[in-house]
C-alpha cells in the first residue's frame, strides 16, 4: 500500500511540470485525430481503434494521477467535440479508473509483455465489461445479462491485439530513444 501511495504521489508531482501539461496536450490532440481516422468497426460490438494509445502513453510516462485525470478530461472533450447519444458520466468514471490502473501498472516500471497483458485484462474485464456494461444498461435500459456476453467476447478478442500493439509501440519508442529525447524518466532512469 505504501508503494502505491508513493507511486501516486510521484505521479501527482508531474502536474507541476510544464512539460507534462504540454505533452498531455499533444497526446490529447493525437487521441482526437486517431478517434476520427484510425477506427475499424467490425459488426455491432467490435471496434479496432488506436485512439486509446495516447492515453496509455500518458499513463506510462506520467503515472496514475496524471493518467486518470487526463483520461477523464479527454473523455469529456471527445464527447463535446463529437456528441453521439447522451453523455454518460459512468463512462467518464471508467476512463478515469482505466487511467488509474494503466498508470499503476506502467509508471516507473520496465516494459514487460506480461505486465501489459495482465493490465489489459484487468481493464478489459473489470472496467470495460462489468462497469461499462452496467453504465450502458442503466442509460439505455438494456438487460445487463443480455449485453454482457457480447461485450465479454469483444473485449476478449481485443485483449491480445491491444496488448501486442501497446507493447510493440512502447518497445519501439524505447529502442529509438524517443523517451530519452523527450526527457522522460522511465523506471527511475532517464531513458
Give tens-digit pLDDT for 126-177.
Answer: 999 999 999 999 998 989 999 899 889 989 988 999 999 999 999 998 888 7
Task: Give the confidence band of 185 by pLDDT, cuts at 50, 70, 90.
Answer: low
State what percent of residues in the chain have pLDDT above 90.
Answer: 68
Q: What is the pLDDT of residue 67?
A: 96
For the record, the C-alpha cell of 58 comes out as: 500518458
Q: Which domains does the chain have, with CATH numbers?
A: 2-190 (1.10.1760.20)
Task: Give the confidence band of 84 by pLDDT, cuts at 50, 70, 90.
Answer: confident
- Answer for the pair 127, 76: CB distance below 8 angstroms, yes or no: no
Amino acid at each position: 500500500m505504501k508503494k502505491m501511495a508513493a507511486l501516486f504521489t510521484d505521479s501527482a508531482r508531474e502536474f507541476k511540470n510544464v512539460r507534462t501539461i504540454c505533452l498531455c496536450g499533444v497526446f490529447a490532440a493525437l487521441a482526437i485525430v486517431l478517434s476520427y481516422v484510425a477506427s475499424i468497426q467490425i459488426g455491432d460490438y467490435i471496434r479496432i481503434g488506436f485512439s486509446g494509445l495516447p492515453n496509455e502513453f500518458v499513463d506510462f510516462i506520467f503515472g496514475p494521477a496524471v493518467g486518470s485525470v487526463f483520461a477523464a478530461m479527454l473523455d469529456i472533450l471527445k464527447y463535446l467535440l463529437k456528441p453521439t447519444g447522451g453523455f454518460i458520466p459512468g463512462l467518464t468514471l471508467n476512463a478515469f479508473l482505466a487511467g488509474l490502473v494503466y498508470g499503476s501498472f506502467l509508471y516507473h516500471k520496465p516494459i514487460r509483455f506480461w505486465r501489459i497483458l495482465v493490465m489489459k485484462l484487468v481493464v478489459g474485464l473489470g472496467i470495460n465489461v462489468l462497469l461499462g456494461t452496467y453504465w450502458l444498461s442503466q442509460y439505455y435500459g438494456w438487460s445487463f445479462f443480455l449485453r454482457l456476453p457480447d461485450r465479454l467476447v469483444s473485449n476478449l478478442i481485443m485483449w491480445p491485439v491491444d496488448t501486442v500493439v501497446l507493447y510493440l509501440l512502447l518497445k519501439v519508442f524505447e529502442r529509438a530513444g524517443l523517451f530519452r529525447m523527450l526527457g522522460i524518466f522511465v523506471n527511475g532512469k532517464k531513458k
